[in-house]
Amino acid sequence: MKTRTLIGLSSLCAAIAAPLSCSESKAAPHEEALQAGTSEWGADDEIGAANRLDPDLVRDAAKLVTTGKSYSLGIEVNNRTPAYGHRTFQVFMTQPENPAGKGIGTKGLTYNDEMIEGWMGVGTQLNGLGHIGIENVYYNGHKEQDILTIHGVKKLGLEKLPPLVTRGVLLDMAAHLGTEMVREGTAFGAADLETVARKQGVTLRKGDIVILHTGWLDLMGKDDKRFLQGCPGINREAARLLAGKGIVAVGADTWAVEVVPGEPGAGTFEVNQTLIAKNGIYVLENIRTAELARDKAYEFLFVLGHPKYTGTTQAIINPVALR
């Protein structure tokens, strides 16, 4: 299988030119240490921000469906899909009961069975609350030594997560900056998100799933090395804004959602830590946003029924937008 590597995070800044930024953000000289958050839904909570989903949100979001058009937000996945670090993916096709090419029974039944060898963090993916922690502590105070086993996590597994059905909001950051593709290292701050939402005539609300369009996914299959070495994305300030709005999930057409290289003073994937471990917010990566952006589909019904593999913290997904 083809091996792919991601340049070390410590060398990203040296590998990529000084990042652009919509809103300059400087790290405070004495920031408080980042800690995993405690759930507002109690000590037994394992689904975090998904608790905000309710029938009223679904009914309201369904009213956005006026044209009947559906959008597949997932990308095709195969053994050439660029992925972070060690991750690979391979399908193996077999005909277990008719290897000689002869059919089974009197009517010559033949069938194909496939096996998958790969990682769940490839392609369009859902990152759950057991995926990202802070010093081995995960959302709602779950300690790694208490939940982690070779066969999966005993708490915060994605099998606990209900279907994600709610209003989706697309923020077209590429259009905001007047470009087809936003450059790597471009950080989106709170003011940037609010400005784009206002320009598009949408308001970010509790229970939303917010997705950013940057054009970065266009690099996939054309320049995979550059695709994996960095990306535009939200900074820590924007993550705090989204958490304060009470959203359920945030996604983008990038592999990290947050800006890479990170802003000065930021820790390794600190935005993901803030969203997932601190606030129980789900992260959606490598979302196909181009068609939504082209149609100016800024509000839509978002639907995701993910695979419920017990004890998993990530899933390869194909969300659907309806409008």
The mean of the pLDDT values for the chain is: 91
d(CA 127, CA 295): 27
Q: How confident is the model at residue 11 (pLDDT cuts 50, 70, 90)?
A: very low
d(CA 300, CA 167): 6
Tokens of 157: 């597994």
**pLDDT over 60 (residue 131):** yes
> What is the model's pLDDT at position 22?
52
- The three-state secondary structure class of 52 is helix
Q: How confident is the model at residue 16 (pLDDT cuts 50, 70, 90)?
A: very low
Predicted TM-score (pTM) of the model is 0.90
> What is the model's pLDDT at position 96?
87
> What is the model's pLDDT at position 102?
82
Q: Which of 99-108, 298-307, 311-320 has the lowest mean pLDDT?
A: 99-108
Residue identified by tokens 């057409």 is 253
| Cis preceding-peptide flag for 264 (omega within 30 of 0) | no
**β-pairing verdict for 299-304 and 164-172:** antiparallel
The β-bridge partners of 165 are 303
Residue identified by tokens 């990682």 is 119
**pLDDT over 80 (residue 4):** no
> What is the model's pLDDT at position 2?
41
d(CA 45, CA 160): 10
**pLDDT over 80 (residue 99):** no
d(CA 206, CA 167): 10
Kindly report, residue by residue over 274-304, the tens digit of the pLDDT: 999 999 999 999 999 999 999 999 999 999 9
Which DSSP string do the residues of 166-199 spell out, in sequence order? EEEEEEEHHHHTT-SSPPTTPEE-HHHHHHHHHH
Tokens of 116: 């998958």
d(CA 57, CA 42): 22
